[in-house]
Amino acid sequence: MIQPHDTLPLNRDYTFDMFVRGKNNHLAYAASMAVAEAPGKAYNPLFIYGSVGLGKTHLLQAIGNFMVASGLPKTVVYTTSERFAIELITAIRNNTTPAFREKYRRIDLLLIDDVQFLEGKEATQEELFHTFNELYGSEKQIVLSSDRPPEKLSGLQDRLVSRFRWGLVADIQPPDLETRIAILREKASNRGIHVDDDILELIARRISSNVRALEGALIKAIAHSELQGARLTPQNIEGMLPEEGKREKLTIAHIKDEVAMRYHLKRHDLEGASRKKEISQARHMAIYLARNMTNNSFPAIGKQFGNRDHTTIMHSYMKVKTLLEETPLLQAEVNEIKEGLRARFQENP
Ligand SMILES: Nc1ncnc2c1ncn2[C@@H]1O[C@H](COP(=O)(O)OP(=O)(O)OP(=O)(O)O)[C@@H](O)[C@H]1O
Ligand SMILES: [Mg+2]
């Protein structure tokens, strides 16, 4: 039996069955499944990262729930890095550090959520380092999550970060429109409610970067229609969608400002003719994003980058596109810029 250690409970709804797969989370899902089926063997540790509300906790707990459901005498501990830190501090204060160590070093599956909060916590990192070594050495599975990839965890000891990368690092990206609709359909049907496809699509178009917000909008819409005894229609749903739906539409000017800010440049540097490396690289990036995130054509983009010819624009776009395929670090960078924009503006579908 699973020993009910004083540990955070697993949410029963966070299972693999309830997790909708899409291009955005395919690797993280497959890796989690592999780890659940062969803990300590497939990928150890598994490190899942992605931005807010994209399913990291869901996947971690799905692995835990899977092991619990197997009925094997395994000990699963799900915790957050913050809670791990608090437990350690309490143990030190109460002179119960040996018991704390004993607990964490005798488990079969350790799930640690949100390790970005370990930044700057030296004693906790030290303890986790030893826990990690102990568990890893005895082929026990470790799964970690974070809002960014290991190499971006700047306040963490190098030896810890390097261990985080020993196994597999898998990212979760924001879901595309199709996946967002599929998620909404799944969430509605879990509640035993049928919602028409056009309504699902409307919500999915409005909320693009956070599955939690997507789910929240659906629940709100359902509640409204139930309270008012009215059918959900595109018209009556308009008014109840949250802020994100009312955000300003993303324009090329927004992209230029965001990119300029990130690279410490001015908007007119991106529009101008300078061939300085930092400037032309940032310009390529802004052009790529303009094409990737808005509905503007190459000629239309050219007009907004100092009246450049559409072939020049296309060249910049292709250049970044190719580079992205070869450079994961650049991918991460582009994703960060995109996230920043999506957090404030409504991206074109
Ligand atoms: N692919 C998916 N299929 C079904 N539900 C999903 C999916 N992705 C996320 N969710 C749901 O969205 C909500 C938020 O997910 P979760 O809490 O796992 O995100 P997170 O990445 O841990 O976010 P945070 O960074 O805020 O901790 C949960 O209710 C989860 O079930
Ligand atoms: Mg989470």
C-alpha 237/C-alpha 283 separation (Å) is 39
Residue closest by Cα to atom 31 of ligand 1: 58
Task: Give me the residues of the chain with pLDDT under 70, please.
Answer: 1-7, 242-247, 349
d(CA 70, CA 166): 27
Distances in Å between the alpha carbon of 348 and those of 173, 208, 238, 252, 324? Answer: 17, 10, 17, 11, 21
- Ligand index nearest the alpha carbon of residue 113: 2
Distance CA 216, CA 258 (A): 28
**Ligand 1 atom at minimum distance from 145 CA:** 22
Distance 286 CA to ligand 2 centre (A): 31
CA proximity to 346, closest of 217, 205, 219: 205
Quick one: pLDDT at residue 4? Answer: 33
CATH superfamily entry for domain 252-344: DnaA protein, C-terminal DNA-binding domain (1.10.1750.10)
What is 26-172's CATH number? 3.40.50.300
Tell me how far the alpha carbon of residue 52 lies from the centroid of ligand 2, in angstroms: 7
Q: How many Å lie between the centroid of ligand 1 and the Cα of residue 57?
A: 6
The answer to whether 171 touches 25, Cβ cutoff 8 Å, is no
Q: Residue 334 phi/psi, 5° resolution?
A: -60, -40
Using a 6 Å CB cutoff, which residues line ligand 1?
A: 14, 18-20, 25, 50, 52-58, 147, 183, 186, 211-212, 215
What is the position in ligand 1's atom list of the atom closest to the CA of 211? 12
The rounded Å distance from CA 315 to ligand 1 centre is 37
Distance from the CA of 210 to the center of ligand 1, in angstroms? 8
What atom of ligand 1 comes closest to residue 22's alpha carbon?
1
**Which residue has tokens 């879990």?**
190
Model pLDDT, residue 7: 65
Atom of ligand 1 nearest to the CA of 24: 1
Best CATH choice for the domain 177-246 from the list 1.10.760.10, 3.30.420.40, 3.40.190.10, 1.10.8.60: 1.10.8.60
What are the boundaries of each domain within the chain? 26-172, 177-246, 252-344
Please state, in angstroms and rounded to a whole number, the distance separating the CA atoms of residues 231 and 224.
9
Output the six-digit token pair for 239.
């008014």
Q: Could you tell me the two tokens for 103? A: 């607990």
